[in-house]
Structure 1
Amino acid sequence: MLAGEQYEEELDYLTQYAKTTPVYFTPVRDAAETVAGKGSTEAQIQAVTLKLVDDLLDRGVQIGDMSPLEGEAVIPWNLSREQTLRKVAEGMQKYKDPLDFIYICWFSAPAE
């Protein structure tokens, strides 16, 4: 399920998107739903979401909170990989409506 071409396409898209502008959580969640496929459970979608987040970290994408200051983007959490994934997982458990996942974190990567 996760090693397929669809997964790689979604991961590439999210990586490139994060290089152009800060990305809120919804596109990552949408990518996970696409990869998980129709009929997937919430637990399966969240597992794919965490895998995408883990792989985005491997690609140099930073995860954190959006800065309230104009001209600044994402303020990285500066947590270990394990702590970051746990914080994202806990955030997904906190909200019942996936639309509220926008409050979990933002993604940003340095432009090439």
Structure 2
Amino acid sequence: MNDDATLGAYLAVHERPPAFTGSDGRAYSVDVFVDPTPDTSGRHGAALLFVRWSVDGARPDGHVETGYVAWGDTVAEAQREARALGLYEVKRLLDAAIGEDARPGAW
């Protein structure tokens, strides 16, 4: 495996979030969001937050997010577990989140 093949390793090696082209053709960067409030079992959920960039790349103009992809007994543990995801899995989750975001929602 490459030195930067997971989300956490990429962040450590490159000192910036990885960027992806989503299934909608737009540019996204990603990091982990951890719910600071534990669930009823005392575990913290971690999700991926993808920032969508403007066509010219100058500024954010939206975002998509996943449901929880990892859990931990502490915020740090949940973040560590989410950052252990491989970049191919992160890309798959981005495309799934874009698909979910495109569906009409209930009002």
TM-score, scaled relative to structure 1: 0.26
Structure of greater relative contact order (alpha carbons < 8 Å, 6+ residues apart): 1
Higher fraction of strand:
2
Bigger proportion of residues as helix: 1
Structure number with bigger Rg? 2
